[in-house]
Amino acid sequence: MNLSDLIPVSLIRFLLVGIANTAVGLSVIWIFRNLAGVGDVAANAAGYIIGVLVSFTLNKRWSFSFRGDGLRAFGRFLLVFLVAYGANLTAVAAAIALAGHSSYWCQLAGVVPYTTLFYLGCRSFAFPQPAARTPPVSPART
């Protein structure tokens, strides 16, 4: 038994893409904010836009090896992202309500639902794999 029997390769790749995507997004935000002199909101928007494009491209090609219609997949990907991000915000808001104050650590509460929903949504909806084709069964000869 090897690791891929326990954990799908697509999940490992998805998590690695997430780490790379986080680094790219934060770098874009930092560059826009500190080198280009752009405000926080615009820098954050630029980081998210670039991050979504990087995530889509890497997950489409590497994590899920998707070969279908890229434009339709992008629309589904954005929908999955919005649902996952909504779950993230809900979990963070609940953690803040329970903690009684806003805390950076409450952000961690959103990681698990976001990652779980985003992975499952990408795997099953944004980048669905074609059904395995099985040859038709020929009638038995008598």
Q: How far is CA 67 from CA 70, 75, 112, 128, in A?
A: 8, 15, 28, 10
Judgement on whether residues 33 and 46 belong to the same structural domain of the protein: yes
The pLDDT tens digits of the residues spanning 97-124 come to: 999 888 888 889 999 999 999 999 999 9
Domain for residue 44, yes or no? yes
Domain for residue 25, yes or no? yes
- Residue 132 binned pLDDT confidence (cut-offs 50, 70, 90): low
What's the domain count of the chain? 2
Domain for residue 137, yes or no? no
Domain boundary among 65, 83, 110: 65
142 pLDDT exceeds 60? no
The pLDDT tens digits of the residues spanning 51-74 come to: 999 999 999 999 999 999 999 999
